[in-house]
Amino acid sequence: MGKGENSRGATLVEAAMVFPILILLIMSTLEIGLVFKDYLTVSYISREGARVGALAGNADEADCAILRGIGTVATAGDLARIKEIQIFQANENGAQGATNLAVYVPGRDPEICNVPAQPSIDAWRFTNINWDPEGRQTIVGSENLDIIGVRVVLTRSWVTGFPPFRGTFDIDESSISRLEPRAFEEQP
């Protein structure tokens, strides 16, 4: 055996030792990148919901407007993984108060939400309503304007299943916005 044959064997052994580590690094980068993408998606969805809610104010369909807005920015895959959407009254520090809870019915058009609810066709189902949209404060000068918050919880599954990337976890993000004021109260 010559020197060339020994060095080829050593190179093969070294490659066999480094290859699993390289694959683990590539898979880790992939998993972390996908989690970061989902975090940005959930953050964007919650901000869009809070923005639409601030504009909808105290309209009777304000919560449906929020859910329709979320339906326009989220993909079908994201909607299917959304565990719940909470529309809540926030205080000055952003702490969550009275909350309305909605869940998406997979396979339905995310822009269908009705007041009063029509469960046979609505894509969104309210499971808990504690903050009446019509009772939200939007009149300047009478009291402080309400702050609306939207919290989105999305369930994330790991793609590769390689240890330590197994199972599922929730990505949870909230955004708040002050309701847009109206300068005067409407007369009946």
Q: What is the pLDDT of residues 151-178, one digit of tens each?
A: 999 999 998 887 788 899 999 999 999 9
Q: What's the confidence (pLDDT) of residue 24?
A: 87
Query: pTM (2 decimals)?
Result: 0.85
Domains held by the chain: number = 1
Inside any domain, residue 187? no
9 vs 149: CA distance, rounded Å: 63
Q: Which domain holds residue 168?
A: 3-178
pLDDT of residue 4: 57
Per-residue buried b or exposed e for 31-66, using 16+ beta carbons within 10 Å of the residue's own CB: beeebeebeebbebbbbbbbbbbbbbbbeeebbbbb
Domain assignment of residue 145, yes or no: yes
- Please check whether residue 9 lies inside any domain of the structure: yes
Q: Do residues 149 and 175 make contact, with C-beta atoms less than 8 angstroms apart? A: yes
pLDDT band at 93 (very low <50, low <70, confident <90, very high): confident
Asked whether residue 185 is domain-assigned, the answer is no
Domain presence at residue 43: yes
Q: Is residue 45 part of a domain?
A: yes
36 in any annotated domain: yes
Radius of gyration of the chain (CA): 24
pLDDT at 3: 58
- Residue 141 inside a domain? The answer is yes
pLDDT single digits (tens) 5-28 = 667 778 888 888 999 999 889 989
Mean pLDDT, the chain, rounded, equals: 90
84 - beta bridge partners? 153
